[in-house]
Chains A and B, each alone.
Chain A
Amino acid sequence: MSHFPDWAIILAVKSGVLIFIVVTAFAYLMLLERKMLGWFQLRLGPTWCGPWGLMQPAADAIKLVLKEDLTPAGADLFIYKIAPALAVLTALLAYAVIPFGWLPDGTPIAIASPNVGILFVLAAGAVGVYGIALGGWASQSKWSLLGGIRSTAQLISYELAMGLSIIPVVMLAGTTSLAGIVAAQSAHHLWYIIPLFIPAWIYGVTALAETNRAPFDLPEAETELVAGFHTEYSSLRFGTFFVAEYINMITVSAIRTLLFFGGGDGPWVAQFPLLTVVWFLVKVGIMLFIMIWWRATLPRLRYDRLMTFGWKFLLPTSVACVIIVAGVVAAMGNR
């Protein structure tokens, strides 16, 4: 292995560990969601596998791996097989730039911190639609096609409002680097949720739509489309779509924390910089809890209302926010 410099090997190991942590987090997020939905509906949730159902993710994984891997007769085999992998690959990409906290010497704890971090996250999210669209098309089933097309239209419609809701943050912070945005919030002693609560709300709503979560889970609306884009998938390929969806949930929660809730900012971080990781994870956990809470509370939207809500309400509102914040920032100048 003498061709590779040491830092590249260390980096590859770090990346592997990070991906392992993210996938484990996914597994327990899924268990948590089932438990919580149980409590919301006065049930217990999974209890049989291990104490308190803690082995449930492992049991699910083994079950999925041991199921027969079906490919429908008419399917476009190559695309059918790579679509789930593509979905999970693009979901994992965002974690390359997310700063989880700060080291004592002031460098962000991240795989990489490019100065266009937020654009990279948006780009990775935008590519994520391919996994779903291709999976829905390649199954050559009517349900899958409708689910995939719906999902594509929904994702691109809400992506606009999402991109626009981030611009006020960029204007206040004056940088597109995620670590820089967090540092700007700490420097001003102001979480951007306070001046920018409407963009923060828009980002929250579009984040739900981008991750196909209730009340925007129309791509997989069980009552109308069987299971949407993954109707024909079985075995681990079916599970892979869920991995991608839940990893995306964690991603948008993390981005929301970084942009609007000060990242790892919190009490006592000046004395103990490593505490930023703890605060960051606590905030991401709260975001995820709220996302699951919404699923238990809200009914699913009708498709025409979903589209008009995105185009006629969220888009103009976010443009108005951009104009107002731009006016204030421009009038205050470089202060």
Chain B
Amino acid sequence: MVYKVYGIYDITNDLAIETPSYIVNTKYNKRSGIVEYSRTSKSKGETVLNKVISGGIRLHINPVHPILLPICMTRHILVIIENPVSLAPGDIIEGYITIPVDIAVYVEEYNEAITLIDIFTEGKIKYTLYGPLEGGHLARYHRTRFYSQEPRTKPFTEALVRITISNRSTYWITLSKILIDCKHLKLYYDPPHNAYAQALEIVVTSRRHAKVIYSTPFKTAVIEAQRPPMFRFTKSYLTLHGTLMKWGV
């Protein structure tokens, strides 16, 4: 079954959007203008979320940064590469990895203001620690392979990322993990279920240190996903900052 989930929906009509685990329903009351939003678990057969929306006209269902469940306690994702990449000094390699994504539901109001109303996941949530206990980062845990060609991603749980790894040290290095800061990461989607992030450049400077630089989108004709309120920032912040990996690559 092919699920049509990511996209923008008119909620002045009743909706029933199905994902592998849930059914999202909206019921519009023409007289009061109120929309009843509900999300039902398919396996348990029970409604896990019920909300009343007033003044909304459109529903946005987008991929979202996977750090908001069960509560937001970090802004990092640690991607473990199952087939670590070894690079000769000065060498550069291009390829693809996947990162985890969750699903967010936003409602757009008449004045085009957008608010987040629901987040859920189709995958498994696991976190890990990158670095030492004191000063290290909690991060959402994800395992992926390094692909030399564009792979197929798991719908609703993964987003595709093109990465360029460059070894700027004077010795061989092996890259087995990548730390991504969601504050810098933009997500895109291609309806009905494909998700992407912007291209990443990983500059390895030593056997233990690397910098992750957030580049431009590598796909055309994709829609930029809405960002949760905590990840809205100015453009200068994006362009100035990268993520430093200082506790191992």
A and B, one complex? no
List residues of A whose CB falls within 8 A of some B CB: none
Contacts from B to A (Cβ < 8 Å): none
